[in-house]
Structure formats: structure tokens, C-alpha cells
């Protein structure tokens, strides 16, 4: 019996060895602040910070940027929530908002992140970060490489996080006047609508941004415009490949043109005016494009072949013109002309306004003529602006919808 | 040269790394002898060695005494030996036509009174000995016996017994004893006829499809059920007697030309080594002959279903039936058997496969679901889909406990509910389930002790554990589930992985009567996977499982 007691003591001692260290990295999920959105703005200290600084609560820093974190769900009225019983999901308790935006100013994003720990009891976790909004003003001053350095190094933040640019302040893009709406989810959700509109750029995630920045080419980021807590995806922000700084914007119309060149339309609308002055609308269902680089005696030129299939979905002719084959052929020409307009405009902007190639011409050249590419790749954006580009577009109306006449 | 050495030294880890490596080596090396010691002390406290038990202290006063033939003396000795037993009856008669007295001994309630009346008393008292035979009785004692057994008594079970001790034992066991004046042997007539219940649908293993037949408490009925299953010459039923004080019959059943003789030999040798006063139930036998006492997994399969026993025998397994219990034992057992139900074979193969896969999934859930919940909530919020994470955060706002405590509260109360549900009488059981499950669950959520999400997890876990067709295997998973929860609480998902590996490594090492426990998996045998997670069409399963090393491996024979 004595031996048995000794043995069980030994086992207990061994168990204690494990259990005493126990749970050292355990952190219950409700004790964490789940960050779903991050906004980066030009420094603009909040009233709170200015007041705190007056009380001596400042630390040595330069005011470079203001980081806004969007925390869900907002836990402010704990006791209140208890009283309410269930029914939590209806937008929390603080003024119908389902989220909490917290902003702090500083010159190191990581330091700002940790600064939140002296402000909130629940530490931030970045696993669920869905969207990073960069204000165009900040991106004008600082290279994206500088701004995103911490974010790309951090191993909590997922590489699948979406990156967008806001025309105005990022905090505006992360605010919402709609009760119960979480702007970060809203912005990521918009990207999924690409099958309905070709005004939306293919989503740029952190990992894509990282690789694009390292390849040195110019690139586009989705632009968000805001007014009074409402948002819209509109156009794109252009970033110069050499500096990774914001240099300008493409409009929605330009983005549509670009989608023709890139040939990645999953769905969208092309509206034109028929010779009779009435509106006709074409719904594309499918499109493809082929960029053919041509090199003749060292002179580079591009030819783009674009094809699209879709249906005539709206026709304001009155009295209505029957959708005969001849009429559809006529309409195809009208739509091709309209598409050409879009393409012309975006090509003009790329080559003559911003002098950047964001249409994927570089890649084609690199694949077809790698030797030539090596020679010119350092001043590609300049070279590109002088290259003649021709194109042909072939729109095919397959049907006129379920209309019977 | 210096550069070389400095480069090499740069890659030599610090002493802490070596210390850790040393500990990693030392701990398992210490664990092995520790478990050996525990196992040894467990075994030595209940030795299986035949020379170490102490035989019953008091000797029977009848030891070695034989019948003398002197009627009064014999009866007196027997009366003294039986003592003051209220239920033993002595009926003295005179055999008609002779002057011989006789006494009939029987135990009230155990003996067939009709048999005594019509086949013993009537011929002895009414018919008696004929005139012409009477004289020859005086020449030899044996003639009397022969006359009684051959011409007078119209019973099939009749056995002369010269030893008084055995005679008394038989009478106490319910047989009828007859002592005739002048005879040097007593007669034991008939068999015990205790009360037994009729054959019913087995409660613990109900099936939708399949025979509605379960074993009963009588060994004779049970072996009869096995014989009744179908005409079969190779079924062997070997009888053993177990128990030192209370003797019980035990039957070892196997198929003569299928079962591996080594297995039969091993099982019978282990049965013969059993030393216990009274093996109350087959659970006693199971625990006394199993390989690994410390394992949470059962190494002997218990069942109430004769069809299951026959299926086991046909696979080359061996069955043990004990008198007094409806639970037969099948051995050796493999892990896959615990998740299989006879219904898998009675249904067509697609539904059978689907249900079996479902059961494997349920077993995983029953084992790991709360552990995963704890590790996700406490360690890996990033692994939960964002919107789910949000709703969990919201629902867990008021919960004052860490997830391990929360899960323990619910799991333990579910286990208590389950235990209480078994004990309660049938009409109250379901009502208690409603009170426990619905009201306590809902109230606990409303009171803010647990989160609603956990209630789902616990409910799914509990339901999953009930899908396991072998009840005792379900309990094993329940016990392990708590270990899993603790390892999740200590180390998160990493702990769960370690726990699972630990269980796996134990299972791989475990053997049941020489057969590896997780058999078709390791040792790996792809052709036997036909009857493991999936259940292949019957026409495809032509071989008996090779892990049992059957004599005849062709299932079609």
C-alpha cells in the first residue's frame, strides 16, 4: 500500500509539472478585440489624444499617420446587454453601431497597435482583419512599401486581407450610418459583385500587393469614395511602380475600358446610344482579350484582340424595333463603338496622362520577348507611353433576351 | 581555420536545447518502468498464478465419505451435512412390494414437483417391485439398483452417485435425490428447474432489422440459441467450471475448423487460471482474462445477441458464455468491431457503408468536439470563420468562466443526466431527459453560465456518443473526451493533436489475445479495409479477416 501511495504521488508530481505551466497562452475569445478593418490616414490627432497630451500622457513621436482599427463587436454596454437578454445581433448598444472605430496617431504602426493595449482592456488580434483602407493623401506622401511594412511582416494578419484606397479619409470609409452594418464586411462584400459589374477591379489582397510591389510594375488599387457614412467603389487609384506612391485615379469609365483590355469581365453593362438617339444596353456575359506584342526592327507595338458575347438587354426604341438579325448586327456596331470609346480613353490616360502601364502589357512582352524585356524593363513606364497600340473589338449579341418580338 | 570553427560553433545550439532534448529522452524512459510497475502491482494484488490462492478454509464434513447402504446412518449424515436448511425437503416412503425404505430429497422451488410425483413417487409407491423379482434382491445389491433404473423410474436424467458430498451438492443445486435402503449408491434424478424469463429483444442492442432474440440468464437456453441458429456441425461448446466457492458453468464456443487452435488454447488456459470466489457476471471473466488492465479500451466484446456471437465465431473468434448472465463475450476484439453493428450487414452495402462512415464521424465528434471547442475559443480565435467568431464573442460576453470550466460544467452535468436516466424507472426517464436537457440547458444559457454555442457542442457530442453501437465503447470515448478537454485547455490545438497521437500510439500497441487492436489499419492490410470504415458488398468479402489467422480463410465455405 505504501508503495502504491508513493507511486501515485510520483504521478501527481509529474502531472503538476505539466499543469502548473498550463494555459499560459490561453486567451478567451471574448477577451480579445477582433479587428476587422484597418484605416490609415494622414496624421490627425483626435481630441482625446490632444487632451491626453495636455495631461502629460504623450510619448515621443512624430505625427505621421493616424491608424483606425475597426473592432467588432463593440463591447461597451456589458451590463446593459445582460439586461436585454438575448437579441444581441441587432447592432450592439452604442447608438445602433455594430462596430467600434478607435484611432490613434503616431509614426510606427506597430507602436500604435501596442498603444491600444494601454487604452483598451481587450488586446487587438489581427487574425480576422478583412480590409485595409489607405487614404490617398497618405499614399501620396509615403510609399506603400513603407506604410505596409509592418502589416506584411506581422504573422497574425492574413495574406488574404483586401487592400483598397479611399479618395478621402480612410476613417470615413470605415464608418457607416447604417445601423447594424459593419463597414469592413461591406467593403469586402462589394468585391464579390464583380460578376455583376465590370467597374470593380479584381481584388488586391495583401499577398498580391506584396508580389506586385516587389515586381516593380505599376498597379491599381480599388478606389472607395464616401459621403456621410455611405460608400461606393468608384474607379481605381494608380500607383507608380518605381515609387509605390499614389499618382492619380482612373474613373469608373476608365476601369470599364481597362476591363476590356484585360479581358476579365465576369459580367457588366455597356450602355450606348443608337443612331436614333435612344438608349440601348448590352449585358456582357463573357469576354476575352489577347494582347499581341509585335517587335519589328526594335520597334515595339501592341495589338489587342477583344471578343465579347452577351445579349441585348434593354432597348428604348419607340415604337419598338423588332430584334431581327440585321438589327442586332447594327447594334453590335454601336456597342463596339462605345467600347472603343472607353478603351481609347483609358489608353490615353495610361500613355499620355500618367505614363504608367497598368493594363498588363508588360507581362505579355516579357513572355514573348524576354531578351528585349530585360533591356527595357527599367524604364518600361516611359517606353510604354510611346508605344503605338492598335486594337480590334468584336462584340457578338447572341440573343435579345426572352422578349418575343 | 578559426573562421571554420566559429561557423561550426555558431550552429551548435545552446545548453538549454540539449537539456530539453535530454528531458525528452528521459521522460519516456521513466514512464515505461513506471507503468510497468503499476501494472505489476495491479496484477500481483490479484494474482493469476494458481499456486497463490488460498482454497476455501472450511472443509465439507462429507469429504471422502461414501454411501454405506445403511439407510438410517446415511440419512443422518446427510441431514447433519445439510444442516438447518429451510428449503430442503425429505420425503420418506416405502417402496411397494419390499420392506425397503426410501427417501426423496429435493429443494423447494428448484425442483420439478410434477416429475417427482408422476415419475418417482407413483412407480415406487403404486407399482413397486413385482413378486418374482423380490427374491433376487437379497442376492445382490446391484440388482435392486438396476431394477429401479431400468424398469421402474420413467425419467431420462438419472445418475447413480456413490459420493455423499457430490450427492448433497447436486441436491442443493436443484436436482432430486433418491436414497433407497440397502443401496450403496444414491440416485440423482432430473435437472434443476429454476425460474427463467422468456427470450426477448435485447435491450442494450436493439436493431431495426435482424432477429429479435437475446440471450437469457440460463446457460442451457443460450447454448441452445447458438445451436438453434442453424445446422452446423463445426460449432464446439466446451464446458468449464469457474468459481472457487460458487461454481458456475462456463461455455467456450468456437468453430472447430475455423478458429485458430492456438487462440482456443490460450483462452481456455486463461479461463482455467481464473481464481475467484464467484464470477457473478461475464464482466468478471472479461476483467480477469483481459490483456491490459490499464487501457481505457475494452479488450473483450460483450453482446446480448446470438447472431452477433455466431458472426464472430464465423470470423474465427471465440465466444464465452457464462451461466447466469445474458451477456456473452466475444474475443479477441478489434477496434473496428466497436463501431460496427450487425445491421450493417443485414442492410444493403450502400446504406451499411453510409451508416458506418457516419458512426466513425460520430466517434471522432464524441471524442474531440469539446476539446476542439476549448482550443478554438481559448487559443485560436483566428481559426474560426469571422462571422462565427463575432457571434461567439457576443454570446460569450456574460460568461464568467474560461471555456474549460464552462465545458466541464456542461459535460459533467450531461454525464450525470445520462447516469440518472439509466437508473430511473421507465415512465420517469423521458420526463427527466426533458427537464435536464431542455430546461437546464436553456436556463444555464439564460443565466449566463454557459454560452449557447457550447450547448450545441455538448448536445452534438452527447448524441454522437450514443450512436456508438457498443455501449461500453461509448463510455470509453466519454472518459477519453475529458482527457482531451484537459489537454486542449493546457496546450490548445497542439494539445489536442498530442492527445490524439497518444491515444493512437496506445491503440497501436494494444493487443487483444494476440491480435493487434486496430488491426486492418496497423498492421496494414488493404484487402481488409473492405470491412472496416466501409462495408463492401457481400460478394466482394470472400475472405475471413486474416488478423485472426483462421484455419479456413474462405468465407464461402
Does residue A10 lie within any of the structural domains? Answer: no
- Chain B residues touching A10 at Cβ < 8 A: 34
Together in a domain, A258 and A238? no
Distance from CA of B461 to the nearest CA of A (A): 21
Can you give the residue range of the structural domain that contains A39? 29-250
The answer to whether B389 contacts A130, with C-beta atoms less than 8 Å apart, is no
Together in a domain, B375 and B326? no
Together in a domain, A61 and A139? yes
Domain boundary (B306, B333, B360) is at B333
Does residue A23 lie within any of the structural domains? Answer: no
Together in a domain, A243 and A257? no
Does residue A22 lie within any of the structural domains? Answer: no
Together in a domain, A221 and A321? no
Domain boundary (B299, B333, B367) is at B333
Does residue A20 lie within any of the structural domains? Answer: no
Does residue B277 lie within any of the structural domains? Answer: yes
For A7, which of B38, B378, B390 is closest by C-beta distance? B38
Question: Is B49 a residue whose pLDDT tops 60?
Answer: no
Together in a domain, A278 and A238? no
Together in a domain, B312 and B286? yes
The answer to whether B393 contacts A88, with C-beta atoms less than 8 Å apart, is no
Nearest residue of A to residue B378, measured between CA atoms: A28
Together in a domain, B460 and B361? yes
Together in a domain, B236 and B127? no
Does residue B557 lie within any of the structural domains? Answer: no
* Confidence bin at A96 (pLDDT 50/70/90): low
Please tell me the predicted confidence (pLDDT) of residue B138: 62
Does residue B196 lie within any of the structural domains? Answer: no
The verdict on A22 touching B (C-beta cutoff 8 Å) is yes
For A29, which of B37, B389, B490 is closest by C-beta distance? B389
Question: Is B88 a residue whose pLDDT tops 90?
Answer: no
Together in a domain, A245 and A352? no
Together in a domain, B475 and B436? yes
Please tell me the predicted confidence (pLDDT) of residue A88: 39
Domain boundary (A250, A282, A304) is at A250
Question: Is B50 a residue whose pLDDT tops 60?
Answer: no
- What pTM value is reported for the model? 0.83
Please tell me the predicted confidence (pLDDT) of residue A21: 64
Together in a domain, B160 and B114? yes
Does residue A94 lie within any of the structural domains? Answer: yes
Together in a domain, B356 and B461? yes
Question: Is A289 a residue whose pLDDT tops 60?
Answer: yes
- Chain A residues touching B494 at Cβ < 8 A: none
For B381, which of A21, A22, A32 is closest by C-beta distance? A32
ipTM, two decimals: 0.82
Together in a domain, A235 and A286? no
For the residues A35-44, what does the mean pLDDT come to?
Answer: 93
Number of domains comprising chain A: 2
Interface of A with B in 255-274 (CB under 8 A): none
The answer to whether B382 contacts A18, with C-beta atoms less than 8 Å apart, is no
**How does pLDDT run across A349-379, given as a tens digit for each residue?**
999 999 999 888 988 899 999 988 888 888 8
Together in a domain, A258 and A215? no
**To 5 degrees, how large is the angle CA B302–CA B303–CA B308?**
120
Domain boundary (A205, A224, A250) is at A250
- Chain A residues touching B390 at Cβ < 8 A: 34, 72-73
Q: What percent of chain A has pLDDT over 90?
A: 44
Together in a domain, B230 and B170? no
Nearest residue of B to residue A85, measured between CA atoms: B446
Q: Which of A20, A26, A100, A157 to mutate to test the interface with B (most CBs of B within 10 A)?
A: A26
Q: Which of A5, A15, A30 to mutate to test the interface with B (most CBs of B within 10 A)?
A: A30
3-state secondary structure chain A: CHHHHHHHHHHHHHHHHHHHHCCCCCCCHHHCEEEEEEEEEECCCCHHHHHHHHCCCCCCCCCCEEEEEEEECCCCCHHHHHHHCCCCCCCCCCCCCCCEEEEEEECCHHHHHHHHHHCCCCCEECCCCCEEEEEHHHHHHCCHHHHCHHHHHCCCCCCCCEEEEECCCHHHHCCCCCCCCCHHHHHHHHHHHHHCCCCCCCCCEHHHHHHHHHHCCCEEEEEEEEECCEEEEEEEEEECCCCCCEEEEECHHHHHHHHHHHCCCCCEEEEEECCCCCEEEEEEEEEEEEEEEEEECCEEEEEEEEEEEEEEEEECCCCCCCCCHHHHHHHHHHHHHHHHHHHHHHHHHHHHHCCCCCCCHHHHHHHHCHHHHHHHHHHHHHHHHCCCEEEEEEEEEEECCCCCC
Does residue B42 lie within any of the structural domains? Answer: no
Does residue B11 lie within any of the structural domains? Answer: no
For the residues B263-270, what does the mean pLDDT come to?
Answer: 92
Together in a domain, B169 and B225? no
Together in a domain, A392 and A268? yes
For the residues A293-311, what does the mean pLDDT come to?
Answer: 90
Say which CATH number the domain at A287 has.
Answer: 3.30.300.210
Number of domains comprising chain B: 3
Nearest residue of A to residue B42, measured between CA atoms: A4
Does residue B16 lie within any of the structural domains? Answer: no
Does residue A405 lie within any of the structural domains? Answer: no
Does residue B173 lie within any of the structural domains? Answer: yes
Does residue A1 lie within any of the structural domains? Answer: no
Question: Is B56 a residue whose pLDDT tops 70?
Answer: no
Together in a domain, B380 and B418? yes
The answer to whether B381 contacts A156, with C-beta atoms less than 8 Å apart, is no
Does residue B4 lie within any of the structural domains? Answer: no
Together in a domain, B155 and B237? no
Can you give the residue range of the structural domain that contains B305? 219-333
Please tell me the predicted confidence (pLDDT) of residue A1: 61
DSSP string, B131-194: HHHHGGGGT-HHHHHHHIIIII---S-EEEE-BHHHHHHHHHTT-EEEEETT-SSEEEES----
Domain boundary (B148, B170, B189) is at B189
Does residue A3 lie within any of the structural domains? Answer: no
Least confident of A35-44, A55-64, A201-210: A55-64
**How does pLDDT run across A134-192, given as a tens digit for each residue?**
999 999 999 999 999 999 999 889 999 999 999 989 999 999 888 888 899 989 999 98
Domain boundary (A199, A233, A250) is at A250
Q: Which of B34, B390, B453, B486 to mutate to test the interface with A (most CBs of A within 10 A)?
A: B390
The answer to whether B41 contacts A4, with C-beta atoms less than 8 Å apart, is yes
- Chain A residues touching B399 at Cβ < 8 A: 30
For A23, which of B377, B390, B490 is closest by C-beta distance? B490
The answer to whether A36 contacts B386, with C-beta atoms less than 8 Å apart, is yes
Together in a domain, A281 and A219? no
Question: Is B111 a residue whose pLDDT tops 70?
Answer: yes
Together in a domain, B315 and B409? no
Together in a domain, A368 and A269? yes
The answer to whether A78 contacts B402, with C-beta atoms less than 8 Å apart, is no
The verdict on A405 touching B (C-beta cutoff 8 Å) is no
Quick check: helix, strand or coil at residue B461? helix
Together in a domain, A245 and A259? no
Amino acid at each position: 500500500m505504501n508503495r502504491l501511495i508513493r507511486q501515485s504521488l510520483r504521478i501527481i508530481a509529474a502531472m503538476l509539472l505539466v499543469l502548473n505551466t498550463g494555459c499560459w497562452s490561453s486567451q478567451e475569445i471574448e477577451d480579445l478585440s477582433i479587428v476587422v478593418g484597418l484605416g490609415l490616414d494622414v496624421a490627425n490627432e483626435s481630441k482625446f489624444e490632444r487632451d491626453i497630451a495636455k495631461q502629460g500622457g504623450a510619448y515621443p513621436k512624430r505625427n505621421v499617420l493616424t491608424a483606425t482599427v475597426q473592432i467588432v463587436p463593440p463591447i461597451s454596454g456589458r451590463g446593459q446587454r445582460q439586461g436585454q437578454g438575448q437579441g444581441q445581433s441587432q447592432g450592439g448598444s452604442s447608438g445602433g453601431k455594430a462596430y467600434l472605430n478607435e484611432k490613434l496617431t503616431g509614426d510606427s504602426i506597430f507602436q500604435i497597435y501596442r498603444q491600444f493595449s494601454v487604452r483598451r482592456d481587450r488586446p487587438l488580434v489581427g487574425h480576422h482583419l478583412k480590409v485595409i483602407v489607405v487614404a490617398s493623401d497618405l499614399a501620396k506622401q509615403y510609399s506603400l512599401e513603407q506604410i505596409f511594412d509592418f502589416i506584411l511582416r506581422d504573422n497574425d494578419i492574413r495574406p488574404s486581407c483586401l487592400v483598397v484606397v479611399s479618395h478621402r479619409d480612410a476613417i470615413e470609409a470605415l464608418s457607416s450610418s447604417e445601423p447594424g452594418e459593419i463597414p469592413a464586411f461591406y467593403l469586402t462584400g462589394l468585391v464579390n459583385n464583380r460578376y455583376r459589374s465590370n467597374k470593380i477591379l479584381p481584388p488586391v489582397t495583401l499577398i498580391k500587393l506584396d508580389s506586385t510591389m516587389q515586381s516593380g510594375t505599376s498597379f491599381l488599387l480599388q478606389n472607395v469614395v464616401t459621403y456621410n457614412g455611405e460608400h461606393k467603389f468608384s474607379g481605381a487609384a494608380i500607383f507608380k511602380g518605381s515609387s509605390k506612391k499614389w499618382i492619380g485615379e482612373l474613373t469608373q469609365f476608365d476601369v470599364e475600358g481597362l476591363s476590356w483590355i484585360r479581358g476579365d469581365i465576369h459580367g457588366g453593362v455597356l450602355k450606348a446610344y443608337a443612331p436614333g438617339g435612344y438608349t440601348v444596353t448590352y449585358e456582357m456575359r463573357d469576354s476575352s482579350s489577347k494582347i499581341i506584342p509585335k517587335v519589328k526592327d526594335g520597334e515595339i507595338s501592341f495589338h489587342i484582340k477583344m471578343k465579347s458575347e452577351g445579349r441585348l438587354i434593354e432597348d428604348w426604341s419607340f415604337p419598338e424595333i423588332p430584334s431581327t438579325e440585321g438589327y442586332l448586327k447594327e447594334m453590335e456596331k454601336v456597342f463596339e463603338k462605345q467600347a472603343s470609346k472607353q478603351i481609347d480613353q483609358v489608353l490615353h490616360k495610361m500613355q499620355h496622362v500618367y505614363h504608367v502601364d497598368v493594363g498588363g502589357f508588360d507581362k505579355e512582352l516579357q513572355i514573348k520577348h524576354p531578351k528585349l524585356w530585360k533591356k527595357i524593363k527599367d524604364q518600361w513606364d516611359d517606353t510604354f507611353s510611346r508605344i503605338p497600340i492598335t486594337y480590334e473589338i468584336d462584340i457578338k449579341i447572341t440573343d435579345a433576351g426572352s422578349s418575343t418580338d | 581555420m578559426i573562421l571554420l570553427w566559429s561557423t561550426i560553433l555558431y550552429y551548435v545550439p545552446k545548453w538549454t536545447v540539449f537539456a530539453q532534448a535530454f528531458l525528452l529522452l528521459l521522460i519516456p524512459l521513466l514512464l515505461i518502468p513506471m507503468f510497468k510497475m503499476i501494472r505489476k502491482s495491479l496484477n500481483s494484488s490479484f494474482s493469476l498464478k494458481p499456486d497463490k490462492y488460498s482454497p476455501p478454509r472450511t472443509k465439507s464434513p462429507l469429504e471422502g465419505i461414501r454411501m454405506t447402504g445403511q439407510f438410517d446412518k446415511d440419512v443422518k449424515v446427510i441431514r447433519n451435512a445439510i444442516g438447518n436448511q429451510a428449503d430442503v425437503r425429505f420425503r420418506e416412503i416405502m417402496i411397494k412390494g419390499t420392506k425397503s425404505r426410501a427417501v426423496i430429497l429435493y429443494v423447494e422451488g428448484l425442483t420439478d414437483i410434477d416429475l417427482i410425483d408422476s415419475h418417482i413417487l407413483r412407480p415406487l409407491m403404486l407399482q413397486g417391485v413385482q413378486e418374482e423379482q423380490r427374491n433376487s434382491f437379497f442376492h445382490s445389491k446391484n440388482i435392486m439398483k438396476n431394477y429401479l433404473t431400468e424398469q421402474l423410474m420413467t425419467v431420462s436424467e438419472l445418475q447413480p452417485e456413490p459420493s455423499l458430498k457430490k450427492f448433497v451438492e447436486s441436491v442443493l443445486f436443484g436436482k432430486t435425490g433418491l436414497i433407497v435402503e440397502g443401496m450403496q449408491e444414491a440416485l440423482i434424478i432430473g435437472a434443476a428447474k429454476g425460474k427463467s424469463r422468456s427470450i426477448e429483444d435485447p435491450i442494450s442492442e436493439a436493431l431495426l432489422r435482424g432477429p429479435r432474440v437475446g440471450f437469457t440468464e440460463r446457460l442451457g437456453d443460450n447454448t441452445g440459441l447458438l445451436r438453434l441458429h442453424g445446422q452446423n456441425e463445426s460449432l464446439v461448446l466446451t464446458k468449464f467450471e469457474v468459481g472457487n466457492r460458487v461454481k458456475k458453468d462456463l461455455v467456450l464456443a468456437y468453430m472447430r475448423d475455423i478458429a485458430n487452435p492456438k487462440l482456443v488454447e490460450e483462452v481456455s488456459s486463461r479461463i482455467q487460471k481464473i481464481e475467484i470466489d464467484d464470477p457473478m457476471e461475464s464482466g468478471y471473466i472479461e476483467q480477469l482474462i483481459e490483456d491490459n488492465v490499464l487501457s481505457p479500451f475494452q479488450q473483450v466484446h460483450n453482446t446480448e445477441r446470438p447472431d452477433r456471437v455466431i458472426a464472430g465465431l464465423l470470423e474465427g473468434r471465440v465466444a464465452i458464455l457464462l451461466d447466469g448472465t445474458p451477456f456473452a463475450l466475444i474475443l479477441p476484439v478489434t477496434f473496428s468491431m466497436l463501431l460496427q453493428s450487425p445491421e450493417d450487414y443485414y442492410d444493403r452495402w450502400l446504406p451499411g457503408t453510409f451508416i458506418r462512415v457516419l458512426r466513425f464521424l460520430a466517434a471522432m465528434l464524441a471524442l474531440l468536439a469539446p476539446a476542439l471547442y476549448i482550443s478554438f475559443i481559448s487559443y485560436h480565435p483566428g481559426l474560426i470563420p469571422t462571422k462565427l467568431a463575432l457571434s461567439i464573442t457576443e454570446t460569450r460576453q456574460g460568461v464568467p468562466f474560461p471555456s474549460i470550466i464552462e465545458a466541464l460544467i456542461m459535460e459533467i452535468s450531461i454525464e450525470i443526466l445520462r447516469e440518472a436516466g439509466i437508473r430511473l424507472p421507465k415512465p420517469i426517464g423521458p420526463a427527466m431527459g426533458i427537464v435536464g436537457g431542455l430546461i437546464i440547458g436553456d436556463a444555464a444559457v439564460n443565466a449566463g453560465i454557459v454560452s449557447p454555442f457550447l450547448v450545441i457542442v455538448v448536445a452534438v457530442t452527447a448524441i454522437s456518443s450514443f450512436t456508438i453501437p457498443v455501449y461500453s465503447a461509448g463510455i470509453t470515448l466519454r472518459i477519453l473526451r475529458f482527457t482531451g478537454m484537459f489537454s486542449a485547455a493546457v496546450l490548445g490545438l497542439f494539445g489536442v493533436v498530442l492527445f490524439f497521437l497518444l491515444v493512437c500510439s496506445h491503440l497501436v500497441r494494444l493487443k487483444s489475445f494476440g491480435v493487434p487492436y486496430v488491426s486492418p489499419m496497423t498492421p496494414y492490410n488493404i484487402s481488409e479495409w473492405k470491412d472496416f470504415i466501409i462495408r463492401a458488398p457481400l460478394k466482394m468479402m470472400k475472405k475471413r479477416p486474416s488478423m485472426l489467422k483462421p484455419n479456413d480463410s474462405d468465407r464461402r465455405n
